[in-house]
Amino acid sequence: MQKRFGPLAPLLFFSLLVHPMLQAQVSRAAAAPVWTASWIENDSPEDKAVRPAQYYRKVFDATKKIRSATLSVTAHGVYEAALNGKRIGNDYMQPGWTSYAKRLQYQQYDVTALVQKGSNCLGVTVGNGWYRGSLGWGEDNTNRWGKKTGLLGQLDIVYSDGSKLSIPTDASWKTGNGPILENEIYHGETIDARLDLGDWNKPSYNDAGWKTAVTATYNNSILIPTINEPIRKHETFKPVRIITTPKGEKVIDFGQNLVGWVTVKATGKAGEKISIRHTEVLDRDGNFYTENLRSARATAHYFLSGKGTETFEPHFTFYGFRYIKIDGYPGEILPENFTAVALYSDMKPTGSFSCSDTLLNQLQHNITWGQRGNFLDVPTDCPQRDERLGWTGDAQAFFRTAAYNYNVKAFFSKWLKDVAADQRPDGAITHVVPDVLNGEAGSSGWADVATIIPWQMYEIYGDKKVLEDQYTSMVNWVGYMQKHTDSADLFHYGWHFGDWLSYRPGDDGGTDAVTDKAEISQCFYAHSVQLLINAAQVLGKQDDVSTYSKLLKRIKDAYNREYVTGSGRLVSNTQTSYVLALQFDMLPEAQRPKAAAYLADNISRYNNHLTTGFLGTPYLCHVLSKNGYAALAFTLLKQETFPSWLYPVKKGATTIWERWDGIKPDGSFQNAGMNSFNHYAYGAIGDWMYQNIAGIQSAAPGYSKIIIKPLIGAGITWAEGKFESVNGTISSKWKIENGKLQLDVAIPKGSTAVIHVPDAGGKNYLVKEVGAGTWHFEQ
């Protein structure tokens, strides 16, 4: 049984525990603080026990008229701050996630408007976050960076007469517990409203029962200012269905797989417990399905105070979900009492894509929501199960698509510094960043994030600072591979993921679908060296250009000796093997057409389906369209049976799946041990759609030179793309009407473009060079 609901008027919610908010932004213009503060903690033992959030407060007097007030603050854990009862800023999960032992961000807020003459109170709540609690897997997956949460903060006030007052965290602060009990990234949050502290962050509150904070000493040299966007609330969703499952479960469907939490309103008796479990899918019988969450409980528990209508939402966790299962709710479950809230890093949208094909538009929607749900301060693989880690392979595969959809310059600049910070002394890049897998590192296609993303960032944003910042890391990763090549210049050292989650039919045996990991490694070795050469050229390091150019020739020669047969076939003879060989320019020019033909033949033998995994998929359609097989690229893109991009769309997906067949044609699921339904890697096809259907391509760093060249095919009759480059908006809009193609283009000031105008059949391109302005073409 289910009830369906149409659009509802949005409701304004206030959390039971979050006070009225000051819309202060993180200040990046403030001077770095001169820290006089001490770290403060509570007196709980250092153990693995589940700990409630900690509350800290400090009352102080401001005796004069105030010119400015700046709060500098960070935590071991994640925090929310308030001044005189008003929440500071609209950021969540601060100070964000970094390699905490090496880099810990602090934030600075302009709180001038909140400080009042006379008595004031600064209050901060600290939860476990990524610092303490469960993270990763294995027997010892708790307290990766420390056994106790803590707070470091300093309020610096400048009076109108120029005198100053500093309020640092120290032993004069008070600490206590409150209504936020268990708070874990994987398992969720428990709030007991009976323990509500009322006006605890106002000066009038009686804190006689609170304890004195304990000071602690840590290495403050690792403190760094914040350079990236904070996590914030974004879209909200109302229920589209309220379901009673065959098992009798009460379930709400929000219609979109998202990451964040649900705000709940309820009226009941003191002590009544509401439990909200989160998941992405229902099983084929329509029941609530959580096996793919593995050990993550992903649950919110709320204990009512019994004081009228109460509103609950979490503070220090997040969930990946489309559906929630509700237990213990007092009264009828009504849609107006439940609102899903999306959380993700507050990146600026920069791109849009749409076309005449509704399935491709849904695919673009799914790609965008996959990015939103996995870009919470770190580019994670998935947001729902007991993982949610910064997998390097996923990030490099998806980066170009990510950079079309959003401005990710600050987001990835911050994360790349952690890539370098966690890089092992031998140069190997860890599988996940921040590293919680005890130094596991060095997998081809994953570790190459050290070269791939810095170079692509330079190409997109035109700022060589990222190359300057990451150059040593790039050199050290290439050095690791060079050190571990054999006498034949082949790199196959260590363990590698290979073309992760590539598709292999059950009756195939892997003959033409599973690519030799060593062959893949040699391709990525060459690619990283080429990108290092490119970076060295930009930075004027000519000796390095010469050295690595010689190395690159040896790598490619070794590849051709080892992996190319006399007939021109590759040893693996798979789609991914040909894709990487062509994309990374591993073959002599004369052999490229033959390799492209072998690739096309392989696709044909799989009935025009792809078999590529995480490493081959991002380049597949690019290689086809660049080598004379654009029609085949369109065929793959438009394929609706699995494995394909549109198979999940036809199955009702609203994000990108981890596996091509996460839900099988019969409605059963893939292996629950690895079956995320929000996993952006295969969304890398978005890059090809922007570049080739909309036709927006960069021909020089920072889009100072642009190519507009739409491909026409697959029955698509119109398409439109926009991209906000560093120079301004680039747009390409075309349609076929009355047998003619019309193309409208906008080029920003500071850029030039070469426009390739096809006819309605996608042939006979006219080419015109233009400058900034708007242009109309018809053929």
Q: Is 259 exposed, middle or buried (0-12, 13-18, 19+ CB in 10 A)?
A: buried
Instruction: State both tokens at 688.
Output: 């090809």
β-pairing verdict for 223-225 and 104-110: parallel
Distance CA 432, CA 395 (A): 10
| Whole-angstrom distance, CA of residue 435 vs CA of residue 420 | 11
Return phi, psi of residue 740, to 5°. Answer: -125, 155
What is the per-residue burial (b if ≥16 Cβ within 10 Å, else e) of 605-630?
ebeebbbbbbbbbbbbbbbbbbbebb
As a whole number of angstroms, the distance between CA 368 and CA 372 comes to 6
**Which DSSP category does 446 fall into?**
T
Q: Are 466 and 478 in contact (CB under 8 A)?
A: no
Catalytic residue among 189, 229, 658, 724: 658
User: For tokens 């323990």, what's the residue?
Assistant: 195
Contact between residue 503 and residue 636 where contact means Cβ atoms under 8 Å apart: no
Cα(333)–Cα(16) distance, integer angstroms: 20
Identify whether 184 is a catalytic site residue: no
Which residue in the block uniquely carries the two structure tokens 């609102």? Answer: 339
Q: Which amino acid is at 94?
A: Q
* 696 three-class SS: strand
Name the active-site residue from 189, 387, 519, 724: 387
Whether the CB-CB separation of 699 and 770 falls below 8 Å is answered with: no
Structure tokens at 664: 């099988």
Burial class (CB in 10 A: 0-12, 13-18, 19+), 496: buried
For residue 744, give the H/E element and its range.
strand 740-747
Round to whole Å and give the CA distance between 711 and 625: 9
332 in catalytic set: no
Opening angle at CA 597, ends 594 and 598, nearest 5: 90
End-to-end CA distance of the chain: give it in Å, rounded: 55
The sign one gets for the Cα dihedral 735, 741, 745, 751 is positive
Q: Within the chain, how many helices (H) and strands (E) appear?
A: 13, 38
Residue 619: strand, helix, or coil: helix
- Name the residues annotated as catalytic: 387, 658
